[in-house]
Amino acid sequence: MEKVRLTQLVKSAGCAAKIFPDILSEALSGINWYSNENILVNFDVKDDAGVYRLDDQIALIHTTDFFTPVVDDPFIFGQIAAANALSDIYAMGGTPLSALNIIAFPQTQDLGILRDILKGGMQKAKEANCAVIGGHSVDIPEILYGMSVTGKANIKSFVTNSGAKPGDCVILTKALGTGLLNNCIKFKGLDSGEIYEGLINSMTTLNKSASELMLKYNASACTDITGFGFAGHAMQLSKASKTGLEINTSAIPVLNGVRDAINEGLFTRGDRSNREYTKDFVIWEKEIDVFLEHIIYDPQTSGGLLICLDESNCNSFMSELNSDDARIIGKVISEQVIRFV
């Protein structure tokens, strides 16, 4: 039997398949979302997850994330989708507790593929000590997979995207470029070698260690970098915090192979929509680096954490994280812009 290439069964892949931010904002507007006194975080600041006060000590963190295949291997796709869903819990300093599978799958397709997707998701949830306790499925032509995850956090120490303070250092814990390289898989058949392995390692790595360390070092703000790209999520954090970011362009980590993908024009549809989303917030202090411009707008799948820390704690955080890809990339400023210098 001919091997099924999952990326050929869908129109767009991973977090690049998100509804464009301007269209989503329009759809969400005008709805009087019900809330109550126990809701600590909701739609207002476009944070990574919702937070519900359970009692005086514990908050529950709720998130959901699912998308179309970014790779052709179903087990690896399951791992990536689960890591991506768990990331929203980690971005708020939470501990995942339980998860529900979300699956869309054409039931005329080989059910072994579905089984491998679910096995991959389960394996990554197990690594996070997060029990998979059920789920929901639908029979439609395009494959989708992800999870709804519930986590917990100390009510006094969970991290939001709204606490960044001028003078904080800014850390990015994973290299950028997953959207461009995922298009290399979809359109160029990339499925092995150093570039492929680096991409898969990045997307399947949990943000668990970085999350635990940011709590240890009292991070002031955090978000994870996913479908709205570095620029989009950095802008959301800045607006929520009523601050801005000054980013050292030479410090931004980039995955191997990304520049070649840019040279070949393998951009996702998010490149355009993320530019539009952030056009009034991004400032270049010197001549625009066209390569870097594509990279900051590239939608990330299972991307890293963007963490704001008191400058005195940055080097200790980096030393303990001990990651080849993590970088100190800039600082928080009072002006509400993202300035690339």
Helix (H, G, I), strand (E, B) or coil at 190: coil
Alpha-helical regions (H) of the chain: 21-28, 74-91, 111-127, 178-188, 193-204, 208-216, 229-241, 258-263, 270-278, 290-297, 311-321
Q: Please confirm, yes or no, whether 169 is among the known catalytic residues.
A: no
- Cα separation, 190 vs 72, whole angstroms: 10
* Cα within 13 Å of Cα(175), Cβ side: 21
Q: How far apart are the first and last CA of the chain?
A: 53
- Cα separation, 130 vs 150, whole angstroms: 9
Of 15, 130, 169, 314, the active-site residue reads: 15
Count of Cβ atoms closer than 10 Å to residue 198 Cβ: 17
Which 8-state DSSP code applies to residue 10? S
Residues involved in catalysis:
15
